Chains A and B, each alone.
Chain A
C-alpha cells in the first residue's frame, strides 16, 4: 500500500476516532452542543480526507468531477461547525461575520450543485498524473469556474473571523486558547489556499485540505479534552470535598439530608437517621418525617417548608421531634430548594442539628431568671406589707361596719329596706374590691409561666399605684401621673411589668424620704416614641439623684445603697425588660432627683416564647 493511502486514511481514522469519542460524550451531556459540533467537524474532516484520497487515486475525469462536486458537502458541514464552535465554546467571533460565512458557504453549496460540473470547474478535461514523493497522484486539468471565487471569499471571511476571535480571546487573557484554537484555524485557513492555486494550475500538489482541517480539529479536541480532564478533576475534588463535608457534618453532629420531591424520597445520613429515630434501612419519606414532629410544632414546620417550596426562600425552622422511644429532641433545620426549568421544585437539601442541649440551657436560664424575679417579688411584698394589709383592711372594714349596721336595723325592727339594700350593695362592691386585691396578690406571689399578653401599659401603671397607694400616703409622697391616651398595646407579662414599675416607684419614694414633705413629688409618665414603634415609661423623683460613681453599677446584682436591700431589684428589672425586648436606663434630672425610664416595643415579637416557669409541667 502506498504511503499516501496510509497517511490520508490514518488522518481520516484519527478524525473519526475523535468524532466517535466526543459523540459519546455528547450523548451523556446533551445540554452542551459543543461536543456535537466538534464531532460534526471531525466527521467532516474525515470525509474530506477520504474524498481527497479517492481523488488522488482517481483515473477518469468524470469520476474526478463527481468527487470534486460532493466534497463540498463535508466542507460546508465543517465550515459551519467551526464557526458555531468558536461562537459557542470560545464565546468569540463577530455575529455578522459568522452569519455571512454561514450564508456564503450555503450559497456556494447550492451553486455547486446548480452548475453543470461544479463551482470549481466549468469542465474537467483531463486528469494529470505525476509522481509525488515516489507515489503517482492525480490532479485535475480543465477550465476553472470564475464563481469559484465565491468559495475563496468564504475562506477569506473564515480567516478574518478566526483572527478576530483569536484577538478577542487573547485580550480576554485566555492566551493559550487564543493561540491554540485561533492559531490552528488561521494556520488551516492559510493552508486551504492551496486548493484554488491547484485549480488555477499555479502549483502542482495533491489536495491536502483534510490535513489542514485536521490540525484545527486536533486543536479543538485538545481544548475539549482539557475540559473533560478538568471535569474528571472536579469530580475527584468533589468527592474529596464531600468527604470533608461529611467529616465536618459528623463532628458537628449535623444530619445531612436530601429530599427528592418528585419521588418523595428522603436520603439522610446515619447521624440524621439517629437524630430522628429512623432505622438504618427504613425508607424515609416526607410523611415519616412529619410523623416525628411534635404535634405542637408540626404546623410551623410545614409552613416553613411550604414557604420555601413556594418562594424559593431558605428553609429555616426550629422544632421538637418526638422519637418512638418517647424521647423529646430539639432540632434546628436549614435547607434550600432546587427548581427545575419550569420553576417547579424538584429537590430540597439541607442539614439538621440537634439543639436539645442549647434549648435546655436556654430554658434553664429563663427559669433561673424567673425564679429570681419571683424571689424579688416576694421580698418586695415583705417591704410592702403595710400597703397590702391596708388594701385588704379597708374593704373588710367597710363590710363589717355595714353588715353590723344592717343587723342593728333589722334587730330594731326597722323597716327601712332602702337603707338595707344600699348597705348590701356596698358590701358586695367592697367584697369585690377585697377579692380583687387578693387576686392581684396571688398573681404577684405565685410562680407561673411567663405570659405573653397584649396589654395596656397605663393599666399596669394604675394597678401598681393601687398596690402601693397606702405606703405612698404614709411616706407623704404625692404621685402625679401623665399617661398618654390611646397608647398601642405592648406584649409582655403583666405581673413582671408591674414588678418593674413597683420597684421603680418604691425606689423613687425611698429616694425622697429625706426631702421636706412638700417636695416629695413623683411623676409617672407614659409616652409614645418613633411613631408607633415603642412606648416609654418614666418615673421621676425629686430626691438627691444618683451619684455619678454609682451610675455604672446601678443595675448590677447585689449593688445597693439601702440598708435593708439585697440589691437585686434593679438587676432583676433590667433582665425582665431585656426579656421583653426593651431597655431600662437611669439619668439624673437637670434640677434635682433622678428619672428611671424603660422602653418597650409595641410590635408583637414573631418568635414564639413558651417558657415553663417551674420546670415541672410539660
Chain B
C-alpha cells in the first residue's frame, strides 16, 4: 500500500461482486485492493493510506457500518462509499450522518460508481491537503513564544495594539514588536491572512 498513490479498497464478502468491482476499477485506471471481510481489511490497514473505501453494508461478523465507526475512531481520512443490495433509508441516513461519502445500491451503474470513487478520491485529496496545511500552520505556531501566542490570540480576535498592551500590562511598542514576530513566524503579510490561517487550523 503506497501512501502516495490513491488506492480503492473494496470490502465485500461476496466474491463475484468483489471481483467484478475490482476489475471495473482497475480497467478505469485505479489501483485496487480487495478484501473479503472487514477484519481482513483492518489487518492490512495503513492509517496513512490515501484513496477511498467501497464497503458492503451487510457482511457477516463486522458489518459495513461497524467498520465505518472503527475507521472514524482511528482518525482515518479515507472516504467511504457504501454499496448495498437492500439498504433501508434509516441505514443510509445513519451512514451519511457519520460521514459516508456516498451510498449506492446494487446493482450499481459503472458511471455512478466511478463518479463516486473519483469524488471520494478528490475528497480524500482535499482532506489530506487540508490536514497537511493544518500541520504546517501548527508547526509555525509551535515556533511562537508564549507571549507571542497571547498577542496572536488578541490580534485574531480583532483587538487593537493599545488594547492588547493594556490587557497584558505592557507598552504598545512591545506589543508591536511581538506582533511583527508573529507575522514573520507565521509567514503572513496581513492580519486578514493570519485570521484565515487560524480558521483553517481550527477546522
Residue of A whose beta carbon sits closest to that of B15: A398
Scoring A residues 392 to 405 as 1 if CB is less than 8 Å from chain B, else 0, what string do you get? 01111111111011
Within 8 A of B (CB), among A465-495: 470, 473-474, 478
Which of chain A's residues have a CB closer than 8 A to the CB of B110?
400-401, 404-405, 408
Which of chain B's residues have a CB closer than 8 A to the CB of A473?
58-60
Residue B27 CB within 8 A of the other chain: yes
Which of chain B's residues have a CB closer than 8 A to the CB of A433?
16
Are A402 and B58 closer than 8 Å at their CB atoms? no
Residue A164 CB within 8 A of the other chain: no
Which of chain A's residues have a CB closer than 8 A to the CB of B14?
394, 398
Which of chain B's residues have a CB closer than 8 A to the CB of A260?
none
Scoring B residues 1 to 36 as 1 if CB is less than 8 Å from chain A, else 0, what string do you get? 000000000000010110111011001100000000
CA distance A405 to B25 in the complex (A): 8
Are A390 and B24 closer than 8 Å at their CB atoms? no
Interface residue stretch chosen among A140-148, A423-431, A560-568: A423-431
Quick one: given A397-B108, A399-B107, A473-B60, are A405 and B27 in contact (CB under 8 Å)? yes
Which of chain B's residues have a CB closer than 8 A to the CB of A400?
107-110
Which of chain B's residues have a CB closer than 8 A to the CB of A362?
none
Residue of A whose beta carbon sits closest to that of B13: A473
Are B59 and A393 closer than 8 Å at their CB atoms? no
Quick one: given A400-B107, A400-B109, A401-B108, are A390 and B20 in contact (CB under 8 Å)? no
Among A390, A402, A405, A429, the residue within 8 A (CB) of B85 is: A390
B contact residues, range: 20 to 34
Among A394, A405, A429, A470, the residue within 8 A (CB) of B24 is: A405
Residue B86 CB within 8 A of the other chain: yes
CA distance A398 to B23 in the complex (A): 11
CA distance A404 to B23 in the complex (A): 10
Residue B106 CB within 8 A of the other chain: yes
Quick one: given A389-B86, A474-B58, are A402 and B20 in contact (CB under 8 Å)? yes
CA distance A412 to B27 in the complex (A): 10
CA distance A112 to B28 in the complex (A): 139
Closest approach, in angstroms, between the C-beta of A402 and any C-beta of chain B?
5
Are A390 and B23 closer than 8 Å at their CB atoms? no
Are A426 and B107 closer than 8 Å at their CB atoms? no
Residue A163 CB within 8 A of the other chain: no
Which of chain B's residues have a CB closer than 8 A to the CB of A408?
24, 27-28, 110
Scoring A residues 33 to 56 as 1 if CB is less than 8 Å from chain B, else 0, what string do you get? 000000000000000000000000
Are B58 and A401 closer than 8 Å at their CB atoms? no
Are B20 and A401 closer than 8 Å at their CB atoms? yes
CA distance A474 to B84 in the complex (A): 12
Quick one: given A398-B17, A429-B16, are A393 and B106 in contact (CB under 8 Å)? yes
CA distance A386 to B84 in the complex (A): 12
Quick one: given A397-B17, A401-B20, are A390 and B86 in contact (CB under 8 Å)? yes
Which of chain A's residues have a CB closer than 8 A to the CB of B85?
389-390, 393-394, 397, 470
Are A396 and B107 closer than 8 Å at their CB atoms? yes
CA distance A394 to B16 in the complex (A): 8
Quick one: given A395-B16, A401-B107, A408-B110, are A423 and B58 in contact (CB under 8 Å)? no
Residue of A whose beta carbon sits closest to that of B88: A386
Among B17, B21, B23, B58, the residue within 8 A (CB) of A419 is: B23
Are B17 and A394 closer than 8 Å at their CB atoms? yes
Residue A409 CB within 8 A of the other chain: yes
Are A409 and B27 closer than 8 Å at their CB atoms? yes
CA distance A390 to B24 in the complex (A): 21
Closest approach, in angstroms, between the C-beta of A415 and any C-beta of chain B?
13
Are A398 and B20 closer than 8 Å at their CB atoms? yes
Which of chain A's residues have a CB closer than 8 A to the CB of B20?
397-399, 401-402, 405, 423, 426
Scoring B residues 125 to 146 as 1 if CB is less than 8 Å from chain A, else 0, what string do you get? 0000000000000000000000
Within 8 A of A (CB), among B56-72: 58-60
Are B60 and A398 closer than 8 Å at their CB atoms? no
Within 8 A of A (CB), among B90-149: 106-110, 113
Are A401 and B17 closer than 8 Å at their CB atoms? yes
Which of chain B's residues have a CB closer than 8 A to the CB of A419?
23, 27
Are A401 and B24 closer than 8 Å at their CB atoms? yes
Quick one: given A399-B107, A401-B110, A473-B60, are A423 and B23 in contact (CB under 8 Å)? yes
Which of chain A's residues have a CB closer than 8 A to the CB of B60?
473, 478
Which of chain B's residues have a CB closer than 8 A to the CB of A386?
86
Residue of B whose beta carbon sits closest to that of A479: B60
14 contacts between A and B (CB under 8 A): A386-B86, A394-B17, A395-B16, A397-B17, A397-B107, A397-B108, A398-B14, A400-B110, A401-B23, A404-B24, A414-B27, A433-B16, A473-B59, A474-B58
Across chains A and B, which 6 residue pairs bring their CB atoms closest together, nearest first?
A397-B106, A401-B20, A404-B110, A398-B16, A393-B85, A397-B107
Listed in ascending order, the chain A residues whose CB lies under 8 Å from chain B are: 386, 389-390, 393-402, 404-405, 408-409, 412, 414, 419, 423, 426, 429-430, 433, 470, 473-474, 478
Task: Contacts A397-B20, A408-B27 known; list 14 others, CB within 8 Å.
Answer: A386-B86, A393-B106, A393-B107, A397-B107, A398-B20, A399-B20, A400-B108, A401-B20, A401-B107, A402-B23, A414-B27, A426-B16, A430-B16, A474-B58
